[in-house]
Chains A and B, each alone.
Chain A
Amino acid sequence: KNQVEQSPQSLIILEGKNCTLQCNYTVSPFSNLRWYKQDTGRGPVSLTIMTFSENTKSNGRYTATLDADTKQSSLHITASQLSDSASYICVVSDRGSTLGRLYFGRGTQLTVWP
């Protein structure tokens, strides 16, 4: 069964600190993996996208890693800001259909305190 599991479920950190969010998946055949940021009451916004051959990708203070062998990904946030408070969702796409089927994790709810 294709699944995406994220940990931790929630995380509280102080402003300025770093944190790392984890994602494990069993989706096959794998196409790509995305990390989305979803602010409360808003739609998800893409942060990074990685294909099978990529193992690191950065977007400002966000750095995502991918280990396609172990089917694990992480999202590292550097020097956190209050505006980083949101849900971070790991999304994996398979290449078994023309639709580009997406499998969503439940997200990690990050809260940054001043």
Chain B
Amino acid sequence: EADIYQTPRYLVIGTGKKITLECSQTMGHDKMYWYQQDPGMELHLIHYSYGVNSTEKGDLSSESTVSRIRTEHFPLTLESARPSHTSQYLCASSGGLAGGPAYNEQFFGPGTRLTVL
């Protein structure tokens, strides 16, 4: 089992609230990712980070923001939640020796199921 954690696991909030989804990993991985997944659909990359102080937007446009102040921590923030943000959010990390079999293999957290009313 990968050492990557997400909190909360489930969150139900009202429209307009500010929320932060937490993601932490203890594997010392340099790269971290946030994905959004709707039921029966593929994962869509919304943010990624190569390392501390590095953040980039992914393929799917998202109103969320991320920060990477520490290697192990990659929180995602929504300043004003809306019903369209209702989804499952998955955090992942990757690392390992360049060229090795585990390099770029992504390990996923358990996910946060967000419902915005």
Could you tell me which A residues sit within 8 Å of B by CB distance?
A: 4, 31, 34, 36, 41-46, 49, 89, 93, 98-100, 102, 104-107, 109
Residues of A within 8 A of B88 (CB): 41
Distance to closest chain A CB from B10 (angstroms):
9
Chain B's interface size range is: 20 to 34
For window 78-117 of B, CB contacts with A under 8 Å fall at 88, 90-92, 94, 101, 103-111, 113
Are A42 and B104 interface neighbours, CB within 8 A? Answer: no
Closest Cβ of chain B to A58, distance in Å, is 15
> Are A104 and B40 in contact, with the CB atoms below 8 A?
no
Interface CB pairs A-B, < 8 A, 23:
A41-B88, A42-B110, A42-B111, A43-B90, A43-B91, A43-B109, A43-B110, A43-B111, A44-B43, A44-B108, A46-B105, A89-B42, A89-B43, A93-B104, A99-B48, A100-B94, A100-B103, A100-B104, A102-B45, A102-B106, A104-B42, A106-B42, A107-B40
A-B pairs with beta carbons under 8 A, tally: 50
CB atoms of A49 and B101 under 8 A apart: yes
Q: Is B12 an interface residue when CB atoms closer than 8 A count as contact? A: no
- Please name all residues of chain B whose beta carbon is closer than 8 Å to the beta carbon of A89 when the two chains form the complex: 42-43
Q: Within 8 Å CB of B43, what residues of A? A: 44, 89, 104
Contacting A at CB under 8 A, from B25-42, are 31, 40-42
| Residues in B neighbouring A104, C-beta threshold 8 A | 42-43
CB neighbours (8 Å) of B42 from chain A are 4, 89, 104-107
Q: Are B104 and A109 closer than 8 Å at their CB atoms?
A: no
- List A contacts of B101 (CB < 8 A): 49
Q: A70: shortest Cβ distance to chain B, in Å?
A: 22
Smallest distance from the beta carbon of B23 to chain A beta carbons, Å? Answer: 11
A42 to B26, CA, bound (A): 19
With a CB–CB cut-off of 8 A, which chain B residues contact A49?
101, 105
Please tell me if the beta carbons of B111 and A99 are within 8 angstroms of each other in the complex.
no
Complex partner residue of A106 from B40, B103, B106, B113, CB under 8 angstroms: B40
User: What are the residues of chain B within 8 A of A100 when measuring CB–CB?
Assistant: 31, 94, 103-104
Contact partners of B104 in chain A: CB under 8 A: 31, 93, 100
